[in-house]
Each structure stands twice: as structure tokens, then as C-alpha cells.
Structure 1
Amino acid sequence: MEDAIQVDNRWYIPATSPRGDDRTRILKSDDAFAVFSRHGEIGRVGLGDQGLYFAGTRHLSRWQVLLAEREPMLLNSTVRLDNGRLLVDQTTPDLFRGGTLWLPKGTLHLRREAAMQDETLTERLQITNYHDTAARLPLEYRFDADFCDVFEVRGVQRQRRGEYLEPHREACALERRYQGLDGVLRRTRIQFSQAPDTLDGGAAVFHLELGPGATFELEVQVHCAADHPRPEPNLLPSRGPGRGTEPPAFARIFTDNEQFNDWVNRSEADLRMLLTHTRHGLYPYAGLPWFSTPFGRDGLITALQTLWLQPQIARGVLAFLAATQAQGHDDAAEAEPGKILHELRSGEMAALDEVPFRRYYGTVDATPLFVLLAGRYLRRTGDEGFVREIWPALRRALQWMEEKADERGFLTYARHGDKGLVQQGWKDSDDSVFHRDGRPADPPIALCEVQGYACEAFQQAGAMADRLGQAALARRWRARSRQMLEAIDRWFWMEAMGTFALALDGEGRPCAVRTSNAGHLLYNGAVKPARAASLARALVSAEACNGWGVRTVFAGEPRYNPMSYHNGSVWPHDTSLIAAGLARYGFKEEAMQLLEGLFNASIFFDIHRLPELFCGFDRLPGQAPTLYPVACTPQAWASGAVYMLLEAILGLDFSPRERQIRLRHPRLPDYLGWLRISGLGCGDASLDLVVRRHGRDVAVNVEQRRGDLELSVVI
């Protein structure tokens, strides 16, 4: 996704300097999140993305602790595995007075714990003196609140801003206030558990006297608030069911490989952190720091990745997107009746239409993915009642797809106006769709993978219509799916390349470029069997696969650049979709090759967290993947990749009607001796199973069964 700032009609994320330290620490709770340095500080280093954010606005732009006017030295920094707390251990450096050492380094210990709950950041500080004499010194908290919109943080220059009001002071608290141009009063309240000796607009100072072995304790709360309703209706529940409760339990995965467990555990923790309570259920916000908001495509793909182990995520995504579906025409927002949301923003700049993303529908793929997910959700859960609830939204989405289709039956896009996204597939950089000679493709553009989504969407729509007793609609949509399969093969297949064209331009000319997009067609079953082997070979070739994952554009193709956002980088979610497609067509070895690549990449990344993307340079012995400088981390669909990869190699399938879980030709890679899945549910029953590898074969055992549920294994 390339939702970003606009300069000369181009939207991108600026990177004028590298991160000061790529090992940032992140906490999130619903619509608020914080980005810290490893020291637990918030400052202006590197990309300047550190801060405490709420509803699209940075409420804390500086947060620094000083002892004796010096920054403490870092001993250790970690975020708990569940992402619930940031733990930082620090000590003082050598402290001098008049050239004389009066307190040696390692004498005072600072223990800092930070946690997010709703819109409040809480930090607990302990300072212990391990010296044999008393220590007298000032403790200072320095802070600032710039109330910048997230797009300002990313580089947008605004002509006007609102008004900074005089801070409000109390004995133990200070409140910074900003009156936005959108009429919203935004407030940051900093509350100390005891009164500072001095407190002004940017600092609180405590004069400490610590005897030998003594400990000083302090709690600070930073609360974010917006005093008036935001112009965009708040989709988060202010009170009520679900707010503040834990997301539903995932099926638990454990193996005999501790590093693999670390990857799975981090992925689960990150997904739990990104899951946000809305009035319509849980929704996985896309990523931090730039995309902490609902994105249609990202939420849908994350729900597909996790559908087998936690279908409640899919239900929340479907309900939310049905509620925000476009009802009318709005060229500025790219809205058309039945179209599914691309992005929702609630900050000041979105409210004032300084950026076009307040409710923005500039995506061609979210609508077929919405229908596709609903069909897969019904197959996974048997939840006909919920599908009936959203059936009007599904009918509107399908109507949009039928009316939007060109004469060949393809979904196309062309931007309306001059502010939105030029490219409206998942690779939405301006330069991501081009011909063999490097020329950009002229709109309206038909992307190959979007036709695959639509092909399966019509198939799933037919299955849902059958379940709901609408046989005529079922026949119509199934026929549409069959027609699309034939049209995709006719118009997109490039025999000389052994793969499918990236896209067709407005004149129907193919963009004959080898890209990862074609792999999505396998995922949707939109490839004729006779083409599958050739496509599989292309996707795991040295030009496509760099050893860690599949490049977005193959090496050697026009515009290939391993450092590009969409033209040569590796995206974990993209690789997971391709692996699932390979497995669907029986190419399990190739799917396991991609699983191994991303697993090995996870070992090198900080706290085993896969980023949004990384560079596409070839894997070299002893060298880590090359970081992309402004990638979001965590990112929901990067976290979901491991689950789709496991689903693919195990061949997982569900039949609620038959009360059966199926494993079709399950495989395990040679670095996993066994894999246990606990609490794998189907309907109101669940089971715990273990898959054990014996050479190239596997054996599957049920360890525990709860309710009436059968396991079927096809070896």
C-alpha cells in the first residue's frame, strides 16, 4: 500500500534520513499507539516518526528522562512477548562536578515500564541507588506535544495550522491544548503521581536525595483526548461490549524449533496488538506507524491469512466493511455505489480534505476480496446467519463488479480527479504498472491478480447464493466465474514468458513484465492446470525468488530495483499468497521453499518481527535481509504470513456441515520435527492435533477432542 504524502501529484513516503535506530519499540491500544526509541524516549531522530498518537494526531512529540542533566545509558530494552509493556533498564554514566568524578557509572539503576490502555500511556519509574553514599541530583522529564497530523509527520507542508492554547497547570499535572482548524480541541494531559518541584510547559523536575540502597518511585500518565466528536464518525465503541476486552483466542501453534516458535509467537502478539475494537467487531489496523487505521484490502487479506485459526477476525472485517460500503458517487473519494473502502482516516487533515483519505475508495480489488472472504468465511464456519445479515452489502458489491466490468469481463480502474492514487491495486506506487519497454500503462488498467480475485469472488458468490436458496443467482455468478477463467487465460497468458502479464492497458495491450502479481492467480484457482507448472517454475526461479521471498518485479525486468517499494522488493504477505497458490496446485516443495525463506528472514529481524517489506537483493551467506528504510513494522499482513504458509503446507480445510477438519497431503519442512495445533475449532467443537515428520512423510495424531469433530487426513 502506498498511501502517503502528495508532492506534484505523486503520493509517497519521504525518507530524508535513515532511522536513528531501526529497533524501535511500539505499544498500541485501539486507536492510540506510541513509537519509542530503544531507550524509551520520544524524539526527533531519524525519520522523526517517534511519538504518542491518537486518532491520527501526534499528542506527544518529545518524552525524555534526564538524571543530573544527562541522558541515562541503556542496559536493556524489550517489549514483552504479548506487546503489553515496554521494559527499559538504564544506568547513569560517569557524573562529574568541577572535573571531579562524584558518581561513577553503574551506580544508579533506572527501571522504566510503559504500557498503553485505551488513550492513556502509563510509565512507572524506579530509581535505585547502589552506591555506598547518598546521591543528590535532579530528575527531569522533558516533554512536548506538537499535535501534528500523521501526514505532517510524514512530510506534508501545511499552509495553515490551528492554535496552540496556553497550557493548563495543576500541582501534579500539566495539560497541553491545540484548537484544530477542524473545530476539534485536542488535549494531552501529563499527570504525575507526586508534585514535581518545578513544572512548566515542557519539563517537570524532581530534586532527589537517595540514600544507599534507597529507591525512588514515580508514575506518570499521559492521556490523549479530543473534546468534540471528530467529523468522521467514530467507529470505535466509546463504551460497550468488547471495549478493552482481550481478542478471542487463536488456535495455538507450537513446534520443536524454538526459533520458529519465536516467529509464530511474535506474529500472534503483533496481530493481537493491531486488532482494534470497532462497533462492528475486531478490525486489524494495517500497520504502524503510518497505517494505524482501517484499510480495506489489508484487513481482508489479513482475515484470509488467519481465517483457519481465528475466523472472528474475518467476521469483524466483513461487518466493518459492509457498514462503510460506498452508497453513492463521489469522484474525490473515488466512491461508487457498492464499492468497498480502501482507507479511513480521522485526523485533522483528512477532516479538512487536505488529504483525500477521510473515507477513500480508490482501490479496485477490495470489492472482489470482500465477496471472496465472505464465501470463504461461510465455508470455514457455516455461519449462514451472519452471511444473511451482510447479504445486501454483498449484492451491492457484486452489482458494482458486474457493472464495472469492461467488454472482456475485467475489472479496471482509472483515477478520478488529481488527488487520489494513480494505481489502485495492491502495488499502488505511481510507477508500478508499465510495459516491457518501461513505458507506464495508460488507464483504464486491468491488473491480472484483480481478475483472479473477481473470478473466485463470483464462484464464492454462487456457493453463497446456493446456501441461501437463490439458485438463479448462483447459476449466473458461476457462469461469470467460468467466463473470467477463460478470459484471463486468453488475454493475460504470455507463452514466451511462461507467466501472465502484469496488466492490460486501456487499449488492451498486455504489460508483458514478469512480476509476483501472477502468483495470486494460483491462490484464487484462476490458472488452467496446463499453465500451472510453468508459472510455478517462474515464481521460484532465481530471478523471482531472492532466497528470502518472491520479488515484486523479477530481476532483469524493466524498472527492476531491489530498493523500490513495489518494483523489486519482497513483501511477506505477497510471498504467502503465492505459496498458498503453489500448494493449491500441488507444488508443496515450492511452497515450503518460500516458507523457509521467510522463516530464515524472521531470524534476522529484530524480535523476529517481519516488516511490511524488505529489499530484494540476493541472499548472501551470513548476511541478513536488507531493510527498506520506511517500512511499517509491525504490519498486519506481514504478521499473518506465517499462518497462510502453514495452512498451505498442511493442506487445511474445514467442513462445518460434516463436522470435519481435513488435512490434504500435509508436509513439514526438515527443520520441523513436529508441529502441534491446540484448540483448532470447527463449529462448537475443537481438537488438538500433532503432525510429526518421518523423512518426507508425516503422521497425524489427535491428542484431544472436544465435541463431535472428525479429523480426515489424505496423505
Structure 2
Amino acid sequence: MERVFASEDDIGTSFEPISDYYIEPKTSLVESSLRVLKHNDIFAVLDSYGDIGVGPEGPEGLFLRDTRHLSKFDLRFEGRRPLFLGSAVEADNASLSADSTNPDIHLGAGIFIPRDAIAMERTKLLFEAGCYERVGFFNYDHQKRRFRIAIHFDADFRDLFEVRGMHRKARGTRAACVVGHERVELRYEGLDKINRYTILDFSPAPQYLDTKKAEFDFALQPGEKCSILVSVACGNGEASEPLRFLTAYRGARRSLKALTRNIATVESSNVVFNEIACRATSDVYTLVSQTEAGLYPYAGIPWFSTIFGRDGIITAMMMLWIDPMIAKGVLLYLAGTQARHVDLEAGAEPGKILHEVRHGEMANLKEVPFGRCYTTVDATPLFVMLAGLYFERTGDRTTIETIWPNIEAALLWCDTSGDKDKDGFVEYFRESEAGLVNQGWKDSDDSIFHADGSKAQGPIALCEVQGYVYAAKRAASTLARTLGRAALAENLDAQSETLRQRFHDAFWCEEIGTYALALDGAKRQCRVRSSNAGHALFTGIADLAYAARVADSLTSPEAFSGWGIRTIFQGESRYNPISYHNGSIWPHDNALIAAGFDRYGLKAQAAKVFSAMFDAASNQDLRRLPELFCGFGRRPRRGPTDYPVACAPQAWASAAPFTMLSACIGLSLRHDSNEIHFTDPRLPDFLDDLTIRNLQLGETRADIRLCRDGADVTVSVLSRNGPARIVQVK
């Protein structure tokens, strides 16, 4: 596939190849107010009414395991769309509530229903593998009103990649039938020989029902009400019976409460920040799914509602002080799916950690190479890094002993298959036509390049990946000592120190005043100023004497837009503030950089990033930080510019505020000393005081308050149940 770039006067044309799996966006996710719901493997993208598929082709639908099980669900009042009044996803993301009323209706023969006579309230939720809705009607008119409600529905059973814009040469077979007076079964036999179904149940039984439409006739006296209940069950193979609406409603609420019952929470003097923190918490736990290994945060809705190794690991890191159970689930799942054999098409090599899992028809048929995919260079060292952080936080030796063989296998991969040319750096290159060209978190085809804009040729050693390997080996050293492997620990210490020294010599670029983006296959620096250098601060591999220069670079006007730090600095050859990775702003990227600032004692810089992200979230719908937004400079009386196909919610974006907060207040929890530390705590200008409740370390639970007086912050213990010490370090 080729993309054409032409000059304005059409003099000269250049051709730049792009990935076979590049998907051209057909619609913007931000041009309309979409609402999303999720429970485990099922998620819904709805319009503001709670409907699906009313407008032009878009991302709306009810999806289960990468298949769209409902492509149309459109409620009509006497053949017309109701008048929209408002809608909102509840604070815990458990359900959508939407209010509307009837338009003026002329039925002929002098029959007229005036606007606003009938109020309609819709409540929609997901639970297990089903979607449940209650539509309530109330007659506010002074006389009896008769009206007809129609619900149009359909299931195209398209693969998620088709919904995104990919084309297929052939598809399976659809079938539909009416069962009794109140049920419709929609079925699809895929080319992968899996039988998928969508079953709709209506109560009361409609007056008319076929495989595309249900119609209900109502007559309401003044002040009288009635309702329609719709249950939609999705799955494979034999159909399961849907639950009753109230059973599903209670189940959805109880499952969310159970997930968050023991987590730490934050509240402050700033009402807007409280809304941001509440939304962030709800979004993280909406994306968390229960796997056979424990909790796992799916990456994002709509395009990435599945397991991603890198995203899950980084989200777990960010949530570690809030809830270490997420990290435990991530570690156990990724240990259980660690590659054990070579599979070039999947990017698998022994010891390598998973990149992505897909369950749809196209993945099953290998029309897309993402069924179980390992084409990522960074998830493997990040896995070891997370294991070390989890143990530091919890002291959970049992889990570490369980996954220790996986940690050793991951370290071995870093030293063997991960080091393609045996130069001591972990690299990647595309070993299969089905694989990704770039395999770090910036995995666009054009995201790794030289100063002149030419693409780097592999094997490519990314700046941040060397930091991850360094942190992984330091973490593994601590774990090895804990498990009585002193000789291995000393060897890992020596390896990490050698890597630290070699990294600085190979990656520091005086010409640009920061670490190079990458080294190409010829060991030439990609002399490009990028946010990647901030990850060298996050992992601690950056030379202490140069840390302030890296920070100055990252907070310069070329990097810092006013809303956050750009992925690529303004002025670089491929800088584009509307691009996915070459000038946009990613909240998780900024959060890791803020953590890096904290590591090197650069509190003012951490607070600057946190304040920018707070302002960005304040301007977002639902106070929700999206996956990314455009890198345009901040302008008066305007919020940040949305990226057209950004996922929202996105797990690591939702978790980002908690990392930025912990960076500013210098929070660390250490099981070995049984101490909760606040090192040189700072509160940004938008926070005068902050209360953390139910902060846990071992057997201790504590409520702690931080108050700002100018530049000083005092830490007070409101309550403590347990032996842990709470220490403020100036």
C-alpha cells in the first residue's frame, strides 16, 4: 500500500510505503457525543440517545470478543426520533441514562400528540455477555394518549477490524428467525467455523415482531407510566438465557463495588480535580476484566478493548499505590502466556512477553496477525520491571516465586534474542511481513526516524527500551537476593551498571542537548528530540549530571505545548501535531516523564506537567483524559484539540493522574522497612489540600492529609490501623 504526498504546486511527487495493516479512519470519534459501556469482554459504543447505527457508518455497536453483535438499535416514537433532552454515563460507569420526549406528532383525522407530552427515560447497562435496557414512558399530558414505539435492530457480525475500515474478500453466513412472540435470534456462521449469536428478548411481547423490528402499542392515562424491557444476549455456540433486567443491574453494580472495595482513594479542595479523579478511577475499573489469572486492564475502547502486554503493565505500574491487585493479575496472566517457541509470524521467541490478543474471525483466520501477537520489544523488560515494583510494594514472595522462571526467561530473551547484533542493547527489526515495522510504544511506521526525516533501518535500539532493561535488571537483582540467589544478583548489578554507562556514551547527543531517539542498525544516532528521553529519567538510566538538561529540553516551548509534553518536538523534520506519534500529546507518556522528574528531584517540572494535564482533563468531556490529543500550542479560551480516533477511556491515560500525583507528593511504599514515605512533597497550584484514604501497606491502613502553605506541604495522619510508619522526608 502506498500513500502519496504532493507539493502545493504539484511539482514532484514522492511515494511512501505504509503498513499493510494501516487502517484509514472513516469517521472521527469526537465529531459526535459517543457513550461507552463495558463489562469484562463485552462493550458498547452508543450515541447520546443510547442508540446504535442511526447515523452514517461509524464505530457504534455492541461488541463481544472483537465481533460486532449488534450493529443497529434505533428507537422511534410514531416513526420519528424522539427529542433528545440529555444523557449521562453514571459516575461508576455502570449504566447509561438518557432522557427524551416526543416530537409533535400528526396522525391524521385530527389526531395530534403535542410535543413534550410523553417523557422517555432509558437505562442501559452491560453485564457478563449481555446488554440490558429499560425504556420508561410517562404521560405528562392532561388526556389519554395512544402511541406506537418501534425498535429497529440488526447484527452484521463484522469483525472489529472491518468496523475500523479493513475490507474482506469473503464473509460467513447470517441467519435470523423469530422464536415465539417475544424473541429474535440472529446468528452468524463465520469462515472460522465459529457460530456466533445475538438473541433479543422483549417484555412485554410486542404487537408486531420480525427479524428487523419490534413494535409496541401503548395507551396511557394522564400520570400513568409503562416500560419496555429489552435483553440482548451475545455469545458463541449454544445460546444462553439472558438475565432479568434488575438481576443484571444489581450484578453490574455489585461487581464494580467489589473491584473497588479495598482501593485507596483521593479527594481534595478542588471540586474539578475530584471529578477527574473519580472519572479516572471509574474508567480504570471499567476497563479491568477478570481473567483466569486475575484482574487485567484492557487497553481502551473502542479499538483496543482486549489484552495488551505493554499497556497492561504500564497501567499496573501507575495503579500500584492505589491497588496492587491489578499488577498481580497482569504478572500472572503474562507469565502464563509467555512465548516458549519461535513463531516468526507472531513475533514469538522463547521468553518474550505478549503484545496483543485478539479473538475475532479475522484474527482466527490470520487475515490480521494479532491472534496472539508478540511483536513488541518493550513488554519483556517491562514485565520484569513490574515484578520488582510489585514486590517492593507488597512483599508478596509467593507470587514472585511462582513467576520466577518467567522472569529468568525474560532476562534471557533480553540478552539473546532481544539483542539482535550482540552489542549489549535490546533491539528489534521486522522479521516477518506480517509484523510491525516499529515495535516500541510509538509503533507507527514513521515514528522512528533520523534528523533529515529518513526512516531508521533496523535493528533499532530505542532510547527508552534500554532504560526498561536497566530497570529490569536492577529489579531482578533485588528479587534474586530475596530468593537466595546472591551470585545472580551480583551479576545483574554488574550488567545494569555496564548498561548505564554504555547507554550514556551511545545515546547522549550534545548536538540536540538530550538523549537520541534511537540507534539504527549502523549504530547511528537518530538525532531527534523526543519524549522518549523522558523515559530514561523514569527508569533511572539517565546520568545524574545530565538529568536537568533532559528536563529543560522536555519543558522547553518546542516540547511543552501548554497542555503537556509532545511526543516529538516542534521543529523536528517529521513533527506534526495532528499525527499519532510525531507531535501529539499522550497522558501516559507525560505521567511517566513526571515520575522521572520526581526520581531526579525535579519537583517543579513534575508539578508543571501535572498542572497541564489537569487543565487538559478539565476541558474534556466527562473530565476524561483520552488516549492522546493533538500537540497544538495552548491558545486563550480554548481547550486542547482532540485527536480524531483516540480511544476514550484508555487504561493508561485514565491511570495517568495517579502517577502524576504520586510524583508530586513523592509517595513511595516499601514493605521491607514497613514505611510510607512522602519525599519532598509538593502540591501543584490547583490543590491546597489532599486527602488519601485507605492507603494500605501490609496490614496497615491509613488516611493521610497533605496541606499546602505556599511552597511548603505538611503531612498529617488522620487515622492509622497497623504498624507501618508514615514518614515525611524534606
**AA in 2 matched with 1:454:** V
* Preserved CA contact (<8 Å) 1:20 1:47: no
Displacement after TM superposition at 1:192 (Å): 0.9
Between the aligned partners of 1:101 and 1:601, the Cα distance in structure 2 is: 51
Residue segments in structure 1 that go unaligned for 5+ positions in a row: 1-6, 230-241
Displacement after TM superposition at 1:101 (Å): 7.6
* Preserved CA contact (<8 Å) 2:392 2:672: no
**AA in 1 matched with 2:463:** C
* Preserved CA contact (<8 Å) 1:18 1:47: no
Aligned residue runs from structure 1 range 27-46, under 5 A: 27-43=37-53, 45=55
**AA in 1 matched with 2:565:** V
Q: What's 1:697 paired with?
A: 712
Structure 1 54/17 Cα, relative in aligned 2: closer, same or farther at 3 Å? closer
Displacement after TM superposition at 1:84 (Å): 0.5
Structure 1 572/212 Cα, relative in aligned 2: closer, same or farther at 3 Å? same
Aligned residue runs from structure 1 range 546-625, under 5 A: 546-625=561-640
Q: What's 1:409 paired with?
A: 424
1:257 to 262, 265, 270: 270
Q: What's 1:54 paired with?
A: 64
Aligned residue runs from structure 1 range 166-315, under 5 A: 166-227=176-237, 246-248=258-260, 249-315=262-328
What SS is found at the alignment partner of 2:384? helix
Displacement after TM superposition at 1:20 (Å): 7.2
What SS is found at the alignment partner of 2:184? strand
2:133 to 123, 138, 143: 123
Q: What's 1:344 paired with?
A: 357
Q: What's 1:444 paired with?
A: 459
2:172 to 157, 162, 166: 162
Structure 1 stretch displaced more, 404-413 or 87-96:
404-413
Q: What's 1:381 paired with?
A: 394
- Corresponding position: 1:11 with 2:21: yes
**AA in 2 matched with 1:505:** D
Between the aligned partners of 2:143 and 2:698, the Cα distance in structure 1 is: 66
**AA in 1 matched with 2:89:** V
Q: What's 2:150 paired with?
A: 140
Displacement after TM superposition at 1:8 (Å): 6.2
Displacement after TM superposition at 1:213 (Å): 1.6
Structure 1 20/391 Cα, relative in aligned 2: closer, same or farther at 3 Å? closer
- Corresponding position: 1:521 with 2:536: yes
User: Residue by residue, what CA displacement relative to the aligned partner does 1:362-411 show, whole Å, maximum 9, x if unpaired?
Assistant: 00000000000000111111111110000011110011011122433100
**AA in 1 matched with 2:437:** V
User: Residue by residue, what CA displacement relative to the aligned partner does 1:437-488 show, whole Å, maximum 9, x if unpaired?
Assistant: 0000001100000000001111111111011100111011111111111111
Displacement after TM superposition at 1:100 (Å): 6.4
Displacement after TM superposition at 1:46 (Å): 5.7
Displacement after TM superposition at 1:647 (Å): 0.9
Q: Percent identity?
A: 46
Structure 1 581/337 Cα, relative in aligned 2: closer, same or farther at 3 Å? same
- Corresponding position: 1:395 with 2:408: yes
Q: What's 2:247 paired with?
A: none
What SS is found at the alignment partner of 1:640? helix
User: Residue by residue, what CA displacement relative to the aligned partner does 1:314-371 show, whole Å, maximum 9, x if unpaired?
Assistant: 0000000000000100010000000000000111111111110000000000000000
Displacement after TM superposition at 1:145 (Å): 0.4
User: Residue by residue, what CA displacement relative to the aligned partner does 1:600-653 show, whole Å, maximum 9, x if unpaired?
Assistant: 011111000111000000010110110000000000000010010011011111
* Preserved CA contact (<8 Å) 1:315 1:377: yes
Between the aligned partners of 2:705 and 2:256, the Cα distance in structure 1 is: 33
**AA in 1 matched with 2:310:** R
**AA in 2 matched with 1:566:** H
What SS is found at the alignment partner of 1:266? helix
Displacement after TM superposition at 1:166 (Å): 3.4
Between the aligned partners of 2:678 and 2:170, the Cα distance in structure 1 is: 59
**AA in 2 matched with 1:193:** S
**AA in 2 matched with 1:155:** G
Displacement after TM superposition at 1:207 (Å): 1.3
The alignment yields a C-alpha RMSD, in angstroms, of 1.6
Between the aligned partners of 1:553 and 1:101, the Cα distance in structure 2 is: 64
* Preserved CA contact (<8 Å) 1:110 1:127: yes
2:527 to 512, 532, 536: 512
Structure 1 187/245 Cα, relative in aligned 2: closer, same or farther at 3 Å? farther
* Preserved CA contact (<8 Å) 2:344 2:431: yes
Structure 1 101/18 Cα, relative in aligned 2: closer, same or farther at 3 Å? farther
What SS is found at the alignment partner of 1:247? helix
**AA in 2 matched with 1:43:** G
Aligned residue runs from structure 1 range 464-503, under 5 A: 464-503=479-518
Between the aligned partners of 1:170 and 1:514, the Cα distance in structure 2 is: 65
Between the aligned partners of 1:89 and 1:412, the Cα distance in structure 2 is: 54
Residue segments in structure 2 that go unaligned for 5+ positions in a row: 1-16, 240-253
Displacement after TM superposition at 1:14 (Å): 2.3
Between the aligned partners of 2:268 and 2:178, the Cα distance in structure 1 is: 54
**AA in 1 matched with 2:347:** E
* Preserved CA contact (<8 Å) 1:95 1:105: yes
Displacement after TM superposition at 1:44 (Å): 5.5
What SS is found at the alignment partner of 2:527? coil
User: Residue by residue, what CA displacement relative to the aligned partner does 1:133-190 show, whole Å, maximum 9, x if unpaired?
Assistant: 2212210011010001111111111111111123242211111000111111101000
* Preserved CA contact (<8 Å) 1:15 1:47: no
Displacement after TM superposition at 1:9 (Å): 3.4
Between the aligned partners of 2:326 and 2:429, the Cα distance in structure 1 is: 31
Between the aligned partners of 1:393 and 1:409, the Cα distance in structure 2 is: 21
Alignment length, in residue pairs? 698
Between the aligned partners of 1:496 and 1:442, the Cα distance in structure 2 is: 21
Structure 1 350/244 Cα, relative in aligned 2: closer, same or farther at 3 Å? farther
Between the aligned partners of 1:93 and 1:19, the Cα distance in structure 2 is: 28
What SS is found at the alignment partner of 2:58? coil
- Corresponding position: 1:419 with 2:431: no
* Preserved CA contact (<8 Å) 1:9 1:418: no
**AA in 2 matched with 1:542:** P
Displacement after TM superposition at 1:96 (Å): 2.1
Displacement after TM superposition at 1:211 (Å): 1.7
Between the aligned partners of 1:273 and 1:520, the Cα distance in structure 2 is: 28
Between the aligned partners of 2:86 and 2:442, the Cα distance in structure 1 is: 38
Structure 1 306/104 Cα, relative in aligned 2: closer, same or farther at 3 Å? same
- Corresponding position: 1:71 with 2:86: no
* Preserved CA contact (<8 Å) 2:26 2:58: no
* Preserved CA contact (<8 Å) 2:256 2:285: no
Between the aligned partners of 1:673 and 1:46, the Cα distance in structure 2 is: 47
* Preserved CA contact (<8 Å) 1:283 1:316: yes
What SS is found at the alignment partner of 1:246? helix
Structure 1 stretch displaced more, 126-135 or 10-19:
10-19
Displacement after TM superposition at 1:244 (Å): 8.2
Between the aligned partners of 1:45 and 1:516, the Cα distance in structure 2 is: 38
Between the aligned partners of 1:272 and 1:16, the Cα distance in structure 2 is: 30
Structure 1 72/20 Cα, relative in aligned 2: closer, same or farther at 3 Å? farther
Structure 1 376/205 Cα, relative in aligned 2: closer, same or farther at 3 Å? same
- Corresponding position: 1:656 with 2:671: yes
Displacement after TM superposition at 1:95 (Å): 1.5
TM-score, normalized by length of structure 2?
A: 0.94
2:342 to 311, 318, 329: 329
Between the aligned partners of 1:101 and 1:544, the Cα distance in structure 2 is: 64
**AA in 1 matched with 2:235:** A
Structure 1 47/476 Cα, relative in aligned 2: closer, same or farther at 3 Å? farther
Structure 1 709/355 Cα, relative in aligned 2: closer, same or farther at 3 Å? same
TM-score, normalized by length of structure 1?
A: 0.96
Q: What's 1:545 paired with?
A: 560
* Preserved CA contact (<8 Å) 1:60 1:147: yes
What SS is found at the alignment partner of 2:59? coil
* Preserved CA contact (<8 Å) 1:251 1:680: yes
Structure 1 168/97 Cα, relative in aligned 2: closer, same or farther at 3 Å? closer
